[in-house]
């Protein structure tokens, strides 16, 4: 069965254009699934039964795997068996009668505008580290990029004169995102005062670099966000994704239409963006309760 997994991962890369991170996640989930099938005696696509999959999902639940992770795993299994059918490696799809775990949608956490200001203020100063961190945080909040998109930005993909950047998101889809004036200023300062010294010959194509002139990793930027939030006195447990949520929430609170926010976030489905309307409704409800005489 592992031979089919190799074919499937190649299919995800070539035909679907899924990112390396997504391919790795699918590979991990399916490797665990195929190991389970082997122990059950299912060694070919045609020998897998719906009861095998149901038992596997039950084992995940017994091990304390949450509904969101189980749903992601089942999604990988569904796509794998659909691939086997389409490519004529199997005649039936045993996942067709398996129900997905029910997920309670958690409202995304976000920062207030005052907290965003405090986060930026924590980068005050003219050191190379301060200028770089402020540029990254401002750009993330101004554009709503995913952290992988931010650290993956290349110099040629950012046009400060026109106020736009081009990024490649999920599904290998390109999109143009506008950059606000404040973020343009901070990125421009970083380029002139910091990046030119880290990489004077522009040998590294990426926009943001580590203090040693190497590529910036997602883990390194995650640490920057944690460090700056502590310096700002923000008690919330925030991550780079919190700034993405804040970007979307603040746009909608200030009158942006849902379709425009969807395009800027790079969501394939409008329903994914609609969760932010729940955030703004919840906020309005809390304000009403706090301020209205009969709230």
> Catalytic site residues?
146, 170, 241, 244, 267, 276
Q: Decide if 19 contacts 168 (C-beta within 8 A).
A: no
Edge-to-edge strand ranges of the sheet holding 174-178: 158-159, 164-168, 174-178
Pairwise CA distance, residues 177 & 74, whole Å: 33
Helix boundaries (H) for 67-112: 67-86
CB atoms within 10 A of CB 27: 16
Write out the two tokens for 70: 């189980």
Which DSSP string do the residues of 152-195 spell out, in sequence order? T-BGGGEETTTTEEEEE-GGG-EEEEE--HHHHHHHHHHIIIII
Cα–Cα distance, 99 to 85 (Å, whole number): 19
């Amino acid at each position: 069965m592992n031979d089919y997994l190799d074919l499937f991962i190649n299919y995800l890369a070539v035909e679907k254009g899924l990112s390396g991170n997504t391919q790795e996640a699918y590979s991990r989930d399916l490797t665990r699934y195929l190991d389970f099938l082997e122990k059950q005696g299912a060694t070919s696509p045609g020998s897998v039964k719906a009861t095998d999959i149901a038992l596997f999902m039950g084992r995940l639940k017994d091990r304390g795997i949450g509904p969101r992770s189980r749903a992601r795993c089942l999604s990988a299994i569904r796509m794998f068996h659909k691939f086997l059918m389409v490519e004529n490696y199997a005649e039936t799809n045993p996942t067709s009668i398996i129900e997905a775990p029910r997920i309670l949608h958690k409202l995304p956490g976000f920062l207030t505008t005052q907290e965003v200001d405090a986060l930026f203020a924590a980068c005050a100063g003219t050191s190379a580290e301060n200028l770089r961190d402020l540029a990254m945080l401002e750009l993330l909040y101004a554009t709503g990029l995913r952290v992988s998109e931010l650290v993956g930005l290349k110099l040629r993909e950012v046009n400060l004169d026109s106020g736009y950047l081009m990024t490649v998101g999920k599904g290998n889809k390109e999109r143009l995102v506008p950059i606000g004036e404040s973020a343009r200023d901070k990125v421009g300062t970083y380029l002139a005062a910091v990046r030119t010294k880290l990489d004077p010959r522009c040998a590294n194509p990426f926009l943001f670099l580590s203090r040693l002139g190497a590529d910036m990793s997602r883990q390194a930027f995650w640490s920057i966000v944690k460090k700056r939030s502590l310096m700002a006195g923000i008690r919330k447990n925030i991550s780079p994704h919190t700034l993405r949520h804040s970007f979307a929430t603040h746009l909608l609170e200030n009158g942006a239409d849902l379709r425009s926010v969807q395009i800027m976030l790079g969501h394939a489905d409008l329903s994914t963006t609609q969760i932010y309307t729940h955030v703004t409704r919840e906020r309005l409800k809390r304000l009403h309760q706090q301020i209205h005489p009969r709230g």
